[in-house]
Structure 1
Amino acid sequence: MALLAPAEFESAARARLPADVWDFIAGGSGAESTLAANLAQFGDYALRPRVLVDVAGCDPSLTLLGSELRAPIGVAPMAYHRLVDPEGEVATARATGRTGTLLIAGIFASRTLEEISAAAEGPLWLQLYWLRRRDVLAGLVERAEAAGYRALVLTVDAPRIGRRLRDLRNGFAVPADVRAVNLDPELMRASHHGDAGASGIETHAREQFDPSLTWADLAWLRERSRLPLVLKGILTAEDARLAVEHGADAVVVSNHGGRQLDGALPSLAALPEVVDAVPPEFPVLFDGGVRSGADVAVALALGARAVLVGRPVLWGLAVGGEDGAAQVLDQLSSELTHTMALLGRPRLRGLDRGALSERAGRYR
C-alpha cells in the first residue's frame, strides 16, 4: 500500500526500528509537553482562502543565502542517520538533491562531510555545537568550506542536553557500528556507553559541549570562516535582535523539536515575535512540528523564509532509504503547492499573515 502522508511513514518506521532507537528519535525532554505543543500549535490557525485568482502556475521556489531551492523546505540537522538506514546521510543528501530542498548535515553525522557533499546535488549546510575543543571546531569549519558547504548553522539552545526520559529509561547509547565519523573517536567514547538511568548521549554532551558560550564568542567563529552564520534555537525577540547585532546572517526559530527545555514556547508561537524583531530582509527559518504542506504554508505566512523538517525525513529514510526520504520531501512540497493554489496565493510573497485567521490559543 502506498504511503501518502508523513503519519503513515511514522507508523511504518516505528514497526521497523528497535524500540530504543525509536524512542531516541521520537522522544522529547521532560514530560514532553513542548513536543506535543509544537504539533498542537498549528491548530490555532485557520487558512483564509481567496478565490478567482489565477493559480495555473504556483511557484514555491526561492533563493536562500545565495542558494536556489525548488521549495522553501529543508532537512533539519539530526545526528546519526545510519541509525535508520545503512547509507545514512548520503541517502538523505541524494533525496534532497532529487527534490530541490536543503540539507543541513549534523556535526554528529554518521557519514563523512566529504561523502555527504559528494552525494549532494543541492545546497548543503553544516550544523555545529560549540565544543570545548575549539581546535576541533575550527577543523570542522575548514573541512566544510573545502567540501563546498554553503553555510554554518550553530545550535545555541544546548549548553547542556535536555533530560530525555525515554533515553534515560532505555540507557540509550549509540550502537558500536554507528559513529560520528567526523570527530575523533575518543571525543565520542561516552556516547557509546549507556546504562539504565543514564544516557550515553547526555554523558557525552556534558563532557564535550562548552556551557560557557556567550554572544561575544561568535566573533571567534566569524573570524575563521567566510560562510554565512545561522543561529539555530532562537525563541525570543531579544535574542533575535542580538543575533543581528552580532553578525548572524539568519536565525532558525526552534525549540530543538521539544528535546531541550520542556515547557518552552512552541516554535510556531515564537515565530511572529522573532520575525517582527529583525529587519525585513533578514532570513528567519523555522522548525518544530511540521507534518504537512499546510503546516509549511502556515509557518511561511507567519514570516518564515523557509521551513526545516526533522523526524518525518528519518521516518521516510527508515522505511525506504533514499526513495522514502525523497517521497516525504516531495509530499511536503506538493502539498505546499496544492495549499497555495487553494489559498489563491500562487507566489510565496503572497503568503503573509492575511492568509491566516487566528483562533483563541493557549500561548498568547
Structure 2
Amino acid sequence: MAEEPVNVNEFQELARRALRKMYFDFYNGGAEDQHTLKENEEAFHRITFRPRVLVDVSRINMSTTILGYPTSAPIMIAPTGMHKLAHPEGEVATARAAAACNSIMVMSFSSTCTVEEVASSCNAVRFFQIYVFKRRDLTAMVVQRAERCGFKAIIFTVDAPRIGRREADIKNRMIAPQLKNFEGLLSTEVASDKGSNLAASAAARLDPSVCWKDIEWLRSITSLPILIKGVLTAEDATKAMEVGVAGIVVSNHGARQLDYSPATITVLEEVVRAVGAKIPVLVDGGVRRGTDIFKALALGAKAVLIGRPVLYGLAAKGEHGVRQVMEMLKNELELTMALSGCPTLKDITRSHVRTEHDRLNCRL
C-alpha cells in the first residue's frame, strides 16, 4: 500500500498499525458473528447506477442544510465513543476537522473530552448524542450542559437498552476509560470477573425501561430538537412521527448491537416512505465511498453519517487524518454526481439507482 492513502478504506490498515490491538478491535468490531457488520458495506455493493448523459455538469453543488444549518455536503460525523483511545486530542481534534470541512459533528455521550472542551475548541454547528441512564439526573445534566455550550440538536440513541455482545471486547477484556462528562459522578470501577469491563459498565448504567413516552421527558429537559437514532422499520418510523421527533437516523449502531439486523441501506427506503418527507431521514452504517453516499441520497436520505472511517483517520493522522477522510468522501461524491449527470443534490433521484428489489421485480 502506498504511504499516502488514496481512499478511505486504506485508513483502516493505517489505524490497525497505529493502535493497540484492544483499541483497534473495539473500534473495528461488531456483534457476535459480525454478519450485519459485513452486510452494512456489502449491501451498498449490490446497488448499481442508472447514470444520465449529456447533462451540463461543469459546476457541481453539494451544499445542503440539516435542520436548517448549512453544510458543505450531506456528510456528517457520526457519534462514536472514546476518541482519546485513537489520539491524545480525542474529540477536540475531530471537532476541529469537522469545522474545517464545514461538516456537522455529532458528539458522543461516551466521549473522552467534555462538551465544554469541544465547544471551546472551534466555532461550528454540532449535535449531541445521548443514552438514557438509570440515573436520569445525569442524562439531564449533560444534555443541559450541551445546550448551554451551543450544541444545536440532541440525537437520542434508541437501540441500546442493553449493550450488544461484542466478542472481541470480551476476549481482550476491554477496559472502559473514564467518561469525561461524568468525571466525579460515575466510576468505571464495575465488578466484572470475566469479559469486557465496558459491557459491565454499560449494563450497570443503561436504563432498559426507556420507551416512547420518554421522548416527552427529554422535551421537558431541553428546548433543542430531538432526533432518534436506531430506527430500522416503517412501524417505528411511523411511531416516531406520532411522538413528534425532529428527525430519524436509520442505524443499526454500526452492527454493534443486534447481529442479523438488516443493513441500513436496505431499509432506508422503507423508513423514508413511512416518513413521507415530513422530517429529515439520515443514515449511517457501512458508508465507505462517495458512491455509497450518492446511493443513500437517491434512496431518500437527507445526509449520511460517517463513523469508523473518522476513527481510522484520527488514529492514523489525528485531525489531519479526519479532514482527509471527509474530503476524500466529498471529492468522490462530487465525481459520482458528475458522472451520473447530477449537478445538484436535488437532481439525484430514485431513478438513478437500481436495487436488488428492483431487479427482482424485473424478473417477475
TM-score bucket (shorter structure): over 0.9
- Secondary structure of the corresponding residue to residue 334 of structure 1: helix
- Matched residue type, 1:124: R
Map 1:196-345 to 2 at 5 A.
Answer: 197-345=194-342
| Aligned position for 1:116 | 118
Q: TM-score of the superposition, structure 1-length normalised?
A: 0.95
- Secondary structure of the corresponding residue to residue 182 of structure 1: helix
Post-superposition shift, 1:188? 3.8
Hey, what's the Cα distance between the residues in 2 that align with 1:43 and 1:6?
Answer: 16
Q: Given that residues 152 and 230 in structure 1 are in contact (C-alpha distance below 8 angstroms), is that contact kept between their aligned partners in structure 2?
A: yes
| Aligned position for 2:47 | 45
- Matched residue type, 1:8: E
Hey, what's the Cα distance between the residues in 1 that align with 2:304 and 2:124?
Answer: 16
- Matched residue type, 2:209: S
Structure 2, unpaired ranges of 5+? none
Post-superposition shift, 1:187? 2.0
| Aligned position for 2:35 | 33
- Matched residue type, 2:30: G
Is 1:21 aligned to 2:23, yes or no? yes
Hey, what's the Cα distance between the residues in 2 that align with 1:39 and 1:101?
Answer: 23
Quickly say closer, same or farther: Cα 1:269–1:9, change in 2 above 3 A. Answer: same
Quickly say closer, same or farther: Cα 1:114–1:265, change in 2 above 3 A. Answer: same
Post-superposition shift, 1:185? 4.1
- Matched residue type, 2:240: A
- Secondary structure of the corresponding residue to residue 137 of structure 1: helix
Post-superposition shift, 1:362? 11
Quickly say closer, same or farther: Cα 1:362–1:229, change in 2 above 3 A. Answer: farther
- Secondary structure of the corresponding residue to residue 106 of structure 2: strand
Post-superposition shift, 1:252? 0.3
- Output the aligned Cα RMSD: 1.7
Q: Deviations over 1:96-139 (max 9, x none)?
A: 00111110000111111011112243210000001111111111
Q: Deviations over 1:64-96 (max 9, x none)?
A: 112110011111101110001000000000000
Hey, what's the Cα distance between the residues in 2 that align with 1:128 and 1:11?
Answer: 30
Post-superposition shift, 1:345? 0.7
Hey, what's the Cα distance between the residues in 2 that align with 1:362 and 1:36?
Answer: 22
Structure 1, unpaired ranges of 5+? none
Residue in structure 1 matching 2:91, options 89, 92, 101: 89
Residue in structure 1 matching 2:345, options 343, 348, 360: 348
| Aligned position for 1:152 | 154
| Aligned position for 2:163 | 161
| Aligned position for 2:6 | 4
Post-superposition shift, 1:346? 1.1
Identify the range of structure 1 (118-127 vs 299-308) with the bigger mean alpha-carbon deviation: 118-127
| Aligned position for 2:129 | 127
- Matched residue type, 1:28: G
Post-superposition shift, 1:184? 3.6
Hey, what's the Cα distance between the residues in 2 that align with 1:85 and 1:267?
Answer: 29
Quickly say closer, same or farther: Cα 1:241–1:66, change in 2 above 3 A. Answer: same
Hey, what's the Cα distance between the residues in 1 that align with 2:22 and 2:15?
Answer: 13
| Aligned position for 2:77 | 75
- Matched residue type, 1:62: T
- Secondary structure of the corresponding residue to residue 329 of structure 2: helix
| Aligned position for 2:182 | 183
Quickly say closer, same or farther: Cα 1:337–1:168, change in 2 above 3 A. Answer: same
- Matched residue type, 2:188: R
- Secondary structure of the corresponding residue to residue 228 of structure 2: strand
Post-superposition shift, 1:241? 0.7
Hey, what's the Cα distance between the residues in 2 that align with 1:363 and 1:127?
Answer: 38
Hey, what's the Cα distance between the residues in 2 that align with 1:265 and 1:281?
Answer: 24
Q: Given that residues 90 and 111 in structure 1 are in contact (C-alpha distance below 8 angstroms), is that contact kept between their aligned partners in structure 2?
A: yes
- Secondary structure of the corresponding residue to residue 70 of structure 2: strand
Residue in structure 2 matching 1:137, options 136, 139, 144: 139
- Secondary structure of the corresponding residue to residue 125 of structure 1: strand
Hey, what's the Cα distance between the residues in 2 that align with 1:120 and 1:295?
Answer: 29
Post-superposition shift, 1:21? 0.6
Map 1:56-67 to 2 at 5 A.
Answer: 56-67=58-69
- Secondary structure of the corresponding residue to residue 150 of structure 2: coil
- Secondary structure of the corresponding residue to residue 338 of structure 1: helix
Hey, what's the Cα distance between the residues in 1 that align with 2:208 and 2:92?
Answer: 31
Identify the range of structure 1 (335-344 vs 352-361) with the bigger mean alpha-carbon deviation: 352-361
Q: Given that residues 251 and 284 in structure 1 are in contact (C-alpha distance below 8 angstroms), is that contact kept between their aligned partners in structure 2?
A: yes
